[in-house]
Amino acid sequence: MICKLANYADAERIDTLRGRLRKEGVESYLVKFDESHLLITENPSDRAATLLAESALVTHQFRLGTPYQLTSRRYHPADTTIAFADVLIGGEYVHVIAGPCAIESEPIARELATLMQKSGLVFFRGGLFKPRTSPYSFQGLGESGLSILRELKNMGMLLVTEALDDRCLRLLADIVDVIQIGSRNMHNFSLLRAVGELGKPVLLKRGMAATLEEFLMAAEYIVISGNRNVILCERGIRTVSDHTRNTLDLSAIPFLKRETHLPVIVDPSHGTGRRELVPAMSRAAVAAGADGVMIEIHPQPSIAWSDGDQSMFPADLPTLLLDIDRIAAAIGRKLWKKSSKN
């Protein structure tokens, strides 16, 4: 249950109230969301609910019927939009976030960024810290690649990069625009809290066997820490279907758009693992209502250090963007391109 607190509720009175709840066996969480101070509990007993209802500190009570609360659209009906200067994620426009799986060198990164800029794209994805199944595989350029990120930033790109732990967060905080939390860390609650406290926009990927309720609860860990700028990313789950690397669960899009106010995007590159399926799945994602897609692209996929099979050729980008734009138009939206705002 979410309880909105009165403006005059000061720390002392709130503590008293929380102490009384605790005596009833109910833990409460004090959260600042938008401009409101909220007191949140899991499932208050009748006695605890009465106690809250009768408290002069509580001005509104919301019992949502779902385990996720702050991320629920029942609590916050309007879409959350995330602003990067004049660029908005979660609004009318549909975005294409592109870039290599891992940043391998400055020339390749620059080449891709230049290419993207020609197409009007601004969100560059690319990892410096790669979570790899094998400790013997390429783990990303790491700290030594930070200068490349700065270079891309200077070119005017908005950067999306994965963080694996506190150290990554510290290194990336001043440079990147969106911190990505990968599938393998969706259940790393310590990292979710840490990225919540950092306050930067977060792109949270669905765990590879996570239900959507668990996915929203992972987002709730971030939002409860004071950061509501969370972009949810469907990237496929593990199933018995073996023609793709993962099974892209596009029904997550309309389900999530109903259940939460957070923006929802799709990663068809990891979601299929095969570049020849990426265009169709990108069109489908947008048709289903996604706020964007995140796509891997590489000048020479066959020699990419990771995920070459799923990286698109740069030459295929314009057609993809045209198709996405047409699909977006068919449902009353528009592909965001730099020129589209000028």
Options 58, 109, 159, 217; binder of its own copies; rule CB under 8 A: 217
The two most distant CA atoms of the chain are separated, in Å, by 66
Are 227 and 34 within 8 A, CB to CB? Answer: no
Options 107, 313, 329, 340; binder of its own copies; rule CB under 8 A: 329
Full DSSP string of 112-168: HHHHHHHTT--EEE-BSS---SSTTS----GGGGHHHHHHHHHTT-EEEEE--SHHH
Q: How far apart are CA 42 and CA 29, in angstroms?
A: 9
- Closest distance to its own copies from the beta carbon of 155 (Å): 28
Q: Is 317 in the site for its own copies (CB under 8 A)?
A: no
Q: Which of residues 114-143 bind its own copies (CB under 8 A)?
A: 131-138
Of 50-58, 102-110, 171-179, 237-245, which segment contacts its own copies by CB under 8 A?
237-245
Q: How far is CA 279 from CA 24, 208, 262, 296, in A?
A: 55, 22, 24, 12
Q: Give 126 or 182: the residue with its C-beta nearer to its own copies.
A: 182
Q: Which of residues 156-215 bind its own copies (CB under 8 A)?
A: 164-167, 184-185, 187-191, 208-209, 211-214
Are 151 and 107 within 8 A, CB to CB? Answer: no
Q: Which of residues 14-43 bind its own copies (CB under 8 A)?
A: 27, 29, 40-42
Q: Give 258 or 302: the residue with its C-beta nearer to its own copies.
A: 258
Nearest partner of 86 among 336, 329, 266, judged by Cα: 336
Q: CA-CA-CA-CA torsion for 236, 181, 213, 42, nearest 10 degrees? A: 170
Of 85-93, 118-126, 151-159, 279-287, which segment contacts its own copies by CB under 8 A?
279-287
Q: Give 124 or 291: the residue with its C-beta nearer to its own copies.
A: 291
Instruction: Kindly state the number of chain residues that form the binding site for its own copies, as judged by CB under 8 A.
Output: 74
Options 122, 285, 293, 297; binder of its own copies; rule CB under 8 A: 285
- Closest distance to its own copies from the beta carbon of 341 (Å): 22
- Closest distance to its own copies from the beta carbon of 83 (Å): 26
Strand partners, 7: none
Q: Give 116 or 265: the residue with its C-beta nearer to its own copies.
A: 265
Which pairing describes strands 264-266 and 292-296: parallel, antiparallel, or unpaired? Answer: parallel
Provide the 10 A C-beta neighbour count for residue 135: 6
Q: Which H/E stretch holds residue 62? A: strand 58-62
Q: How far is CA 216 from CA 14, 71, 79, 239, 257, in A?
A: 28, 7, 15, 21, 12
- Closest distance to its own copies from the beta carbon of 12 (Å): 23
**Coarse DSSP helix, strand, coil percentages of the chain, rounded to the nearest 5 percent:** 40, 20, 40
- Closest distance to its own copies from the beta carbon of 296 (Å): 16
Distance of alpha carbon 90 from the chain centroid: 11
Q: Which of residues 64-83 bind its own copies (CB under 8 A)?
A: 67, 69
- Closest distance to its own copies from the beta carbon of 71 (Å): 11
Q: Give 183 or 229: the residue with its C-beta nearer to its own copies.
A: 183
Q: Give 146 or 256: the residue with its C-beta nearer to its own copies.
A: 256
Q: Which of residues 239-268 bind its own copies (CB under 8 A)?
A: 239-244, 247-255, 258
